């Protein structure tokens, strides 16, 4: 499989180079040149396959030639060491739980897969790789956990000061070893802009080998298609596989784009919903046809506080950059914090289910879509464990939550982070390091 830059000004590369580079030299995102559908029999017989076999068959074409099959199978098995249950709320709405991994967020899948790919590529390499990652919440913790102790890999995480939850901050600032946290005086968009700028800064490029662990990296992004296939398998087992719709809480749009890749592979799915908080650039775009990015605003669903979603260009590419084709496959709604709180209460009161704020936004997306499409079965992604947003959730549902062991393990650890004001201070830090 070859990958091309969406800016179309850089040479095509294989999977290994796309992973190690993260971003193309022309500052474009890499995209697979030819996505082949899986055989129809794969989906007909999917209930008979293990999750490991489903994931291996789905990802193989994207990795072929860069990683031998037996190594890829091991990477898949190491990545997928936890469950992905689908929980039914009513006849028309279910939730796909993606928080059963080590950091209790959906990003565990992509981070673990990428870490193992990079570890494989780097095992015989004496040159160390520095992974840069911007986080609005969960990415940092997942990447820190996934890459902890990986030989020849150093991780630098940028996160916006005061804009992540206490638990999220603990997860990304307390591990030490090869993980460094930089606390940025700004927004997630500022963090993301710094990371992208670093990739085209020749002085930094000459100083160290850089890559990214954000969803701009193909090895972080593509494995997120796995759990859409797992959900389809579960729904098929439960005879609820007709007119399946996915409602995805959306920030940088990597998740929803991965779901569309699963669709491209042949997974039967009726429609996708981008459920947004007040960072609603895509909602506005689908309504007006004008793509107008704005600075991000802070909300209680902080992982979605993205004003300029990186992966939306990939979604456009998947739909041949045709607005009407995209609209036929994607709807989008946005919801305020107040409405999100009401949804958290409703989900708990009506169904006895405790959601996190991002899941609540996904639930609201389902409800909005079902108003005009009442026969669909809508699955919203529950992207993080509710205890990661303890203050918000407990205040709304008036119930004390029990902390899972994964969360308890970090609560008493000491935060270690370096304050960063701007790109120059970020660059100076990197230049000062001999990783």
For residue 434, what pLDDT band results from cuts at 50, 70 and 90?
low
**What CATH code is carried by the domain that includes residue 283?**
3.40.50.1100
Considering the domain boundaries, does residue 204 fall inside one?
no
Considering the domain boundaries, does residue 233 fall inside one?
yes
For residues 44-50, average pLDDT? 97
Considering the domain boundaries, does residue 118 fall inside one?
no
Considering the domain boundaries, does residue 236 fall inside one?
yes
For residue 138, what pLDDT band results from cuts at 50, 70 and 90?
confident
Residue 342 clears pLDDT 80, i.e. is over it: yes
Structure confidence at residue 135 (pLDDT): 86
Residue 435 clears pLDDT 70, i.e. is over it: no
Considering the domain boundaries, does residue 40 fall inside one?
no
Q: How many domains does the chain have?
A: 1
Percentage of the chain lying above the pLDDT 70 cut: 99
Residue 122 clears pLDDT 90, i.e. is over it: no
What's the chain's average pLDDT? 93
Q: Greater confidence, 128 or 53?
A: 53
pTM of the model: 0.91
Residue 407 clears pLDDT 90, i.e. is over it: no
Q: Greater confidence, 171 or 71?
A: 71
Query: What tens digit of pLDDT does each residue of 278-290 get?
Result: 999 999 999 999 9
Considering the domain boundaries, does residue 309 fall inside one?
yes
For residues 343-365, average pLDDT? 98
For residue 381, what pLDDT band results from cuts at 50, 70 and 90?
very high
Biggest distance spanned by C-alpha atoms of the chain: 59
Domain containing 256 equals: 83-106+221-404
Considering the domain boundaries, does residue 147 fall inside one?
no
Residue 241 clears pLDDT 80, i.e. is over it: no
For residues 229-244, average pLDDT? 90
Considering the domain boundaries, does residue 353 fall inside one?
yes
């Amino acid at each position: 499989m070859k990958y091309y830059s969406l800016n179309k000004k850089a040479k095509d590369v294989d999977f290994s180079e796309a992973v190690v580079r993260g971003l193309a030299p022309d500052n474009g995102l890499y995209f697979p040149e030819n996505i082949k559908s899986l055989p129809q029999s794969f989906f007909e017989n999917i209930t008979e396959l293990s999750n490991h076999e489903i994931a291996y068959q789905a990802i193989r074409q994207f990795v072929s030639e860069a990683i031998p099959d037996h190594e890829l199978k091991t990477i898949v098995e190491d990545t997928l060491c936890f469950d992905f249950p689908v929980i039914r709320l009513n006849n028309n709405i279910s939730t796909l739980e993606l928080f059963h991994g080590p950091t209790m967020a959906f990003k565990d899948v992509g981070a673990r897969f990428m870490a193992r790919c990079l570890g494989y590529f780097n095992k015989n390499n004496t040159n160390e790789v520095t992974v840069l990652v911007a986080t609005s919440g969960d990415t940092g913790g997942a990447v820190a956990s996934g890459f902890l102790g990986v030989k020849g890999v150093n991780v630098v995480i940028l996160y916006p000061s005061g804009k992540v939850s206490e638990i999220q901050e603990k997860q990304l600032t307390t591990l030490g070893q090869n993980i460094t946290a930089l606390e940025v005086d700004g927004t997630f968009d500022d963090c993301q802009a710094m990371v992208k700028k670093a990739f085209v800064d020749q002085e930094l490029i000459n100083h160290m080998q850089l890559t990214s662990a954000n969803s701009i990296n193909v090895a972080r992004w593509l494995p997120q298609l796995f759990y859409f296939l797992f959900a389809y398998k579960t729904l098929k087992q439960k005879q609820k596989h007709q007119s399946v719709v996915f409602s995805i809480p959306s920030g940088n749009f990597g998740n929803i784009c991965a779901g569309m890749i699963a669709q491209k592979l042949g997974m039967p799915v009726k429609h996708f919903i981008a459920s947004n908080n007040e960072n609603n650039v895509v909602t506005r775009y689908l309504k007006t046809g004008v793509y107008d990015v704005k600075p991000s605003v802070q909300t209680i669903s902080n992982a979605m506080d993205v004003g300029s979603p990186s992966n939306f260009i990939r979604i456009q590419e998947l739909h041949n950059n045709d607005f009407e084709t995209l609209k036929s496959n994607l709807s989008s709604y946005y919801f305020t914090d107040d409405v999100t709180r009401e949804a958290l209460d409703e989900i708990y009161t009506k169904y006895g289910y405790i959601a996190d704020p991002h899941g609540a936004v996904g639930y609201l997306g389902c409800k909005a879509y079902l108003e005009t499409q009442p026969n669909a079965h809508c699955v919203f992604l529950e992207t993080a464990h509710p205890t990661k947003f303890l203050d918000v959730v407990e205040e709304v549902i008036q119930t004390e939550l029990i902390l899972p062991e994964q969360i308890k393990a970090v609560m008493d650890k000491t935060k270690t982070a370096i304050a960063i004001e701007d790109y120059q201070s970020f660059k100076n830090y990197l230049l000062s390091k001999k990783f």
